[in-house]
Structure 1
């Protein structure tokens, strides 16, 4: 990409309905659940039909059966059969002609006319049959996708049970307001996005996060529309309704994904510009050289450019659909193509590499008469009613050690310093170094700060009793994921953070990655632009809030754990709907598999079409067999692209007939 931003094309994936004569646009297939059109059963069914009919035609041609049948059936019967069977296609060709456009169906219709003029009526009927069969395959796939959209949309409840004026009222979902309280009972689906304010339940969130295992949720937890409360009940404060929910945005964005076409799709556009004139030239040359009208007809019949037009989008849609089922929201094919070329990955720290919440890592007594548990108990008691994030970390550490806290007296929060309480008649304070009132730092404090840790001092009656060290902890799956990115060929990994140098180094050094500290959002954008100017394809991974500008500037922005965050999904090009770092190298593998599949599709289509034209021009391909052969590339592309449905996630996501979310997805 050489640092340049890809422009957003406005045309459809197939060019247009008239441009390729496919009968439907590929935008119809870019449905929220594109998997339906690529089931192995469907592929085998159409493949079997084509194979059987082709074998029968070849056998009949060799035995002369077609010529015998032609002698006994009068030409008006043949003509009526051709006209009745091919009328829907002839009508489209006529409309395109009136708009001065030539389609592949135009060429096939001319070839059909040539077969009729030559008196090859059985061949003409078979040409119509295969034209209609190809048309049916296109329409069947598109209708299946449209039905999948309706099925997926139906997963979200249309009504909600809302608490109003002291009682529960069942209302249409569009009447629910943000801030209201919704009640979800056992066995029901959550109708809204929101925060749990009461109750506990086991919730299946596979539709949103792709995680097959249910999760336990209680007060303070976030839940999403279309998730399924298998056990327990919930009272939920509404934060988003309808199309504004995470589920609604996923449907909308996946449905629109094909608008962001992969740049490689331009190859198909260029191909269409010269392919049809070449076909006409070959057909004309065939007739002038051999004088064989049937050979000329075969050239026109076998020349179907639809397969070239669908070579890229079919593979892209397959990957986007399979990825969405796993909690990987990819906004379009162009991002898959760019991601496959990634050379530099820059990373946010808080909430991305780390969990985004501090934990107590060290408890150091400074009084020989006190143990670490007593120092922690005093600190947790003093912080019992504090709302500071570090106070929560202290209480969490005490809870893990099962320490019993006392009831503090005269609680006082001192802004910028800490808290002070009275406990058993004594003054106990917990806070930063300003609590030391000019006293020097204990030697251990300097050592802990050098490790990038934040310190809390515990002081009783003016005397330091101990030091607590807190740190935002690294996500456990980050080291393995970064190592996998290196194995996949990413040349440079770099941490970009607004934290100080000590904290940045403490996180980056064990991971073996470069780092830059004290960065503002505009500084991160400058770093991304710097690498782009140097010709690198830059991937930015962030939490999608503070990093939104850099996510948008990068060639590919990946938002971590974006479920429920509108800004994350809007800013990033790819959103990971659950906090799972293993998805980062996985999406890179998906991108490379997809582009390899696209290249195979294009190469196969080029070779197949050139071979078909050559055989038809030399007279080795009768018109009836040529009509059957033009369906071959479509079948090959669908079969090759269907392999993308089985990449990684489909084996990991358990499918259960008892799960209404997964049961609604089409089975492969």
Structure 2
């Protein structure tokens, strides 16, 4: 039986750490897949429960030098937290002292080489120099030794060999400088990883750890894990909502920035929905809990951000494979250098200048930063491969109702035929549409309510996807639908002229038949979202040149909507037709992004290279689409494309810079043109450059959120 297990992993500082733990897990019999996520600090493992156990997997992680924290009671957390803080402070002090010493030593050695200082390092006894190197490099050397015992080669292995070789030829200062820059690189990686983790920590901190619930008529404060769907939860002003729920009593203003990225407060009354992690500004409410914990909208968003690193794209997989082969290649170059030239210093320089971590870091930090920053703006992106795919898209297909338009059409006209009384026709239509979920059905029911006409319970009801509905009302067969259904009626010509007049105005028509004869029609109009024109300009500027409207409406309505926006259009489409159009573009070699409402368009969203759902966090949208807009704002569509292109630009520049830099460094070192001490100094530059470049994405996200 295949099971999935998530384990927290503490002690990882760089991408090499995550790879080491991942390789160890994959060697465990029964493990099908393992993703060790540096930024989320966890391992996601799929394994055969008959061959492997959770305890064995924990032991494997601990055996390679990391820890698997256990859940502990709140009372026990304080001493543990203080101990961790003390260790972190100790490590920081040691790092600061090491950097100061290393900087001074580096300046002295360079000064000696330039003739600015007397030979100071030569006066230091060799045994003392060896002690300095061992003391400063102890944590790294111990890790390399443990890896060697497991027959593993890490990014620090080659540099450690280089440091030992420098000691062997009596150059303790060179060995110390090598270790110094190893520690600098390690510190930089840890710092940048922590910055990426900061996004997760800030999001996690928004979720309350307790909730105030009514149990047996008594208000009690319980842990969030103890809340179950159906509980009545109380939220007071200034508190964050602990669950997704519906307001049962009261009224309040909520800051929903944590969910939608929109800072403007929203007024919620009885019957309205509220989401976990949103902040109650004013008012007091009682909620009926619908989703709790990881099942809440915010919990699922947090899960997507955590899993972003595991959802690797093609570029990241190539970088991972290259990184795995890079160290053996460098070792081979070093051996060839020694064999062909006999120059031990050049060999040491080759080992020291090699920088493999930068290849591993080129992609994941950038992806994590972008997915986290997007989530804070109300954009849920399901991982790195989605970002990569979106950056390559050149065609955008767009649904109309609920996507380009607000999804709340209003009935503007009612025309009755064949001596049917208008009020009676409205009653029959509203009753027939009572159980339909289509926006036009809702518009008919709303129109009837405004006219004081009550919708009754139909005796029979049948939904006809892509056409309309059929119901039995008071012994009469009532059919309501689009022009596809109209064509099946014998007297369809009776409304042709009226229909043309309304369609020319860009209105959508619903035709009504009673007992097989046309009885009238409804004309409805849906308004375009106010930001659409601005957003379309931004989408094209972001790189999507071909945008096409797909709608089930007729040609006149489609043209009236699409033409002012400069869009191509296709009309009279069924849901399955949209999938065919997506596939048609894909067969032509295009990369397609589909934008829909996340309900009727779910199949097309799933088929597209990237599906963007304006679902506001609905289950269907979360499952079918690759990107979910937590607020229905088309400017987020353009922003998602900008995020993707910006991220891939950073990733490609990272990889290109690393490849060129390492090629140049290895060449100079192998030909003896780069002394070991300069090789050590140059070794950490790719790491620092890549991390600084990727950090731009974190800063952009922080600036937009602020």
- RMSD over aligned Cα, in angstroms? 4.2
Instruction: Return the alpha-carbon distance in structure 1 between the equivalents of residues 580 and 416 of structure 2.
Output: 45
Instruction: Return the alpha-carbon distance in structure 1 between the equivalents of residues 368 and 564 of structure 2.
Output: 39
1:156 match: secondary structure: coil
- In structure 1, runs of 5+ residues without a counterpart are 1-11, 33-44, 367-374, 399-404, 421-430, 458-463, 656-668
Q: Is 1:265 matched with 2:267? A: no
Distance 1:114 1:636, change over 3 A: same
Q: Is 1:550 matched with 2:604? A: yes
Distance 1:590 1:346, change over 3 A: same
1:575 match: secondary structure: strand
Q: How does 1:354-373 map to 2 (within 5 A)?
A: 354-361=405-412
Q: Is the 8 A contact 2:102 2:180 kept in 1?
A: no
Partner of 2:692: 639
Partner of 1:345: 396
Instruction: Return the alpha-carbon distance in structure 2 between the equivalents of residues 85 and 575 of structure 1.
Output: 49
Number of aligned residue pairs: give it: 586
Q: Is 1:595 matched with 2:624? A: no
Q: Give the Å deviation of 1:440.
A: 6.4
Q: Give the Å deviation of 1:55.
A: 6.5
Q: Output one character per residue of 1:208-255: Cα deviation in whole Å (capped at 9) or x when no partner.
A: 111122222223332110100111122222221110001111111110
1:355 match: secondary structure: coil
Q: Give the Å deviation of 1:471.
A: 1.9
2:374 match: secondary structure: helix
Instruction: Return the alpha-carbon distance in structure 1 between the equivalents of residues 556 and 375 of structure 2.
Output: 38
Q: Is the 8 A contact 2:209 2:224 kept in 1?
A: yes
Distance 1:261 1:502, change over 3 A: same
Q: Give the Å deviation of 1:492.
A: 2.9
1:323 match: secondary structure: helix
Distance 1:445 1:301, change over 3 A: closer
Q: Is the 8 A contact 1:58 1:625 kept in 2?
A: no
Compare 507-516 and 337-346 and name the one that shifted more. Answer: 507-516
Of 629, 637, 641, 1:584 maps to 637
Partner of 2:681: 628
Distance 1:446 1:417, change over 3 A: farther
2:594 match: secondary structure: strand
Instruction: Return the alpha-carbon distance in structure 1 between the equivalents of residues 169 and 640 of structure 2.
Output: 55
Partner of 1:284: 335
Q: How does 1:508-519 map to 2 (within 5 A)?
A: 508-519=562-573
Instruction: Return the alpha-carbon distance in structure 2 between the equivalents of residues 55 and 634 of structure 1.
Output: 19
Partner of 1:122: 173
Partner of 1:453: 508
Q: Is the 8 A contact 1:358 1:393 kept in 2?
A: no
Partner of 1:29: 39
Instruction: Return the alpha-carbon distance in structure 1 between the equivalents of residues 666 and 675 of structure 2.
Output: 12
1:195 match: secondary structure: strand
Distance 1:67 1:297, change over 3 A: farther
Q: Is 1:220 matched with 2:271? A: yes
Instruction: Return the alpha-carbon distance in structure 2 between the equivalents of residues 90 and 52 of structure 1.
Output: 21
Q: Which has the higher contact order (CA 8 A, sep 6+)?
A: 1
Normalising by structure 2, we get a TM-score of 0.73
Instruction: Return the alpha-carbon distance in structure 1 between the equivalents of residues 108 and 315 of structure 2.
Output: 37
Compare 448-457 and 594-603 and name the one that shifted more. Answer: 448-457
Q: Give the Å deviation of 1:351.
A: 1.8
Q: Is 1:541 matched with 2:541? A: no
2:309 match: secondary structure: helix
- In structure 2, runs of 5+ residues without a counterpart are 1-13, 24-34, 43-95, 435-440, 460-468, 474-479, 513-518
Q: How does 1:179-218 map to 2 (within 5 A)?
A: 179-218=230-269
Of 381, 392, 400, 1:330 maps to 381
Distance 1:479 1:53, change over 3 A: farther
Q: Give the Å deviation of 1:303.
A: 0.8
Q: Give the Å deviation of 1:501.
A: 5.1
Q: Is the 8 A contact 2:240 2:276 kept in 1?
A: yes
Q: Is the 8 A contact 1:501 1:518 kept in 2?
A: yes
Normalising by structure 1, we get a TM-score of 0.76
Q: How does 1:435-450 map to 2 (within 5 A)?
A: 446-450=500-504
